[in-house]
Amino acid sequence: MKKVFYSKRFPPKGFAAINLFGVIIGRSEYGTLSVREINHEKIHSKQIIEMLWVFFYLFYFVEWIVRLIQFRNPMQAYYNISFEREAYRNDRNLDYLAHRKWYSSFKYIRRGSE
């Protein structure tokens, strides 16, 4: 099954890609996703599976609200969601998913902010 698609209007401006239940959608105006961006989205795919799909989005949204209260800045809140912290800190390491332990995202809840 093809896992990367491109769209003109989705995800919103400023975001290169989004992962919807394991399907990666890139915003076409930003061009083909880089190896790093694909790796970032694949990290999310793993997180999504281990959170049984719906709980990923639920936790993601709830943590974004908590981080928004904490940082009072929507983008900073986004970068500090545990799932994003894990993905941004490891997406350059193309070997990361081969060695990643289950539920590694939870180690990032308390780590320093981005």
Positions that interact with Zn ion (CB under 5 A): 84, 87
CB of 6 to Zn ion, least distance (A): 17
Please identify, using beta-carbon distances, which residue of 77 and 87 lies nearer to Zn ion.
87
Closest-by-Cβ residue to Zn ion is 87
Phi then psi dihedrals of residue 69, to 5 deg: -65, -40
Checking phi first, is residue 96 left (phi over 0); if not, alpha (psi -120 to 50) or beta?
A: alpha
Residue owning tokens 């609200």: 65
Phi, psi of 19, rounded to the nearest 5 degrees: -115, 115
CB of 95 to Zn ion, least distance (A): 19
Q: Which is nearer to Zn ion, 15 or 102 (CB)?
A: 15
